[in-house]
Amino acid sequence: MAEIGQGFPALRVSQLDASELDHEVFSLTKSQFTKIFKYHKANFLARFAPELDAALKLLIWKFTVHASESTIGQQILNLKYHDERSLGAGSSQWMSKRQKILYALILIGCPWLKDRSNDLIQILELTHWRHIMNRILGWLECGLKMASLVNFLIFLRKGVYLSLMERIMGIRSMFPQKQGMRQVTFEYMTRELLWHGFSEFLFFILPLINFQRLKNFVMRRLPPKSMLGRGINDGFQRILTSCAICGEWPINPREIGCRHVFCYFCIQSNFQADPAFTCPLCNQSVGDSSSITNIKVNLT
């Protein structure tokens, strides 16, 4: 690994992993923050979503790129942003203060402007230019996506400048110190391949297993939870306040011929999953779909 300036070139996989880690950190931070407001009105956060994203990105930028010239993902993988343009002047250094500010403006300010473009048009009283400006923004977005695709293909070929923003700013992910050779034994690789194959097998086979039918099969082999009679005219008062499956207040109640009631969704979903479904409290079988009827209450 050849030395360049004060750093060493980073591997492509390390740069990609760092980018993925950055996205995951932001998603986790945002999900934890939104849990604070889960009991507020639904449109509370939606109204200020662009400002919330910008504030969280600014907070992360303050304690990562601004403080140590590297993102959280890069810090985990021992990477830092290096100023490639400083090499031409005969000196080498990491990100400059100007580049840090420009980094924040591009990654934080530009997405916020895009999300608030319609609101800004109304504030600036440019409503009659809305159609033209939206078309221009659409062309710019399409052009940036095409440029990002071309930049990514170049990155796969040369391993430099993962994003278009890095190429524009002239910053590159590099190792501050020389990385040691990683030794991976065949035993470790065999174990990883074995578990990977096993997980792929599970992901393929689990959707094919009808767990609801297996559960109902086991429940039918156990004694019923209630030994009360199965007919509705057995002299016992019917229980109308709880579903025999979920135990909650029955929603759109149904019956199958026994003294118990069911939510419409509970009985229909279980019957669709297992045509041999029986009442979990008295083992009354459904039979066919015509047996699931509206509940009848005798008021006399």
Note the pLDDT tens digit of each residue in 97-114: 888 999 999 988 888 888
Reported pTM: 0.56
d(CA 248, CA 235): 24
Q: 178: which residues sit within 8 A by CB, 6+ positions away?
A: 1, 3, 8
φ/ψ of 243, rounded to 5, equals -75, 140
- The span from the CA of 154 to the CA of 159, in Å, is 8
| DSSP H or E stretch at residue 270 | helix 264-273
Q: Per residue in 152-171, pLDDT tens?
A: 999 988 888 999 999 988 88
Q: Which two tokens stand for residue 70?
A: 């590297």
The sign of the dihedral angle between the CA atoms of 198, 199, 200, 206 is positive
Mean pLDDT by groups of 10 residues along the chain of 300 residues: 66 90 91 79 73 90 90 90 68 78 90 81 70 82 91 90 90 82 66 84 83 77 57 53 85 85 88 84 80 72
* Model pLDDT for residues 9-20, shown as the tens digit of each residue: 888 888 999 999
The top-level CATH class assigned to 210-300 is alpha beta
Angle between helices 12-36 and 49-63 (to 10 degrees): 130
- Residue 152 is which amino acid? F
Domain layout of the chain by residue ranges: 8-178, 210-300
The confidence score (pLDDT) of residue 152 equals: 92
- What is the DSSP code (8-state) at residue 108? I
CA dihedral of residues 284, 289, 290, 296 (deg, nearest 10)? 60
Q: Which two tokens stand for residue 205?
A: 């086979």
pLDDT score for 270: 85
Distances (CA, A) of 237 to 233, 258, 260, 261, 264: 9, 12, 10, 12, 21
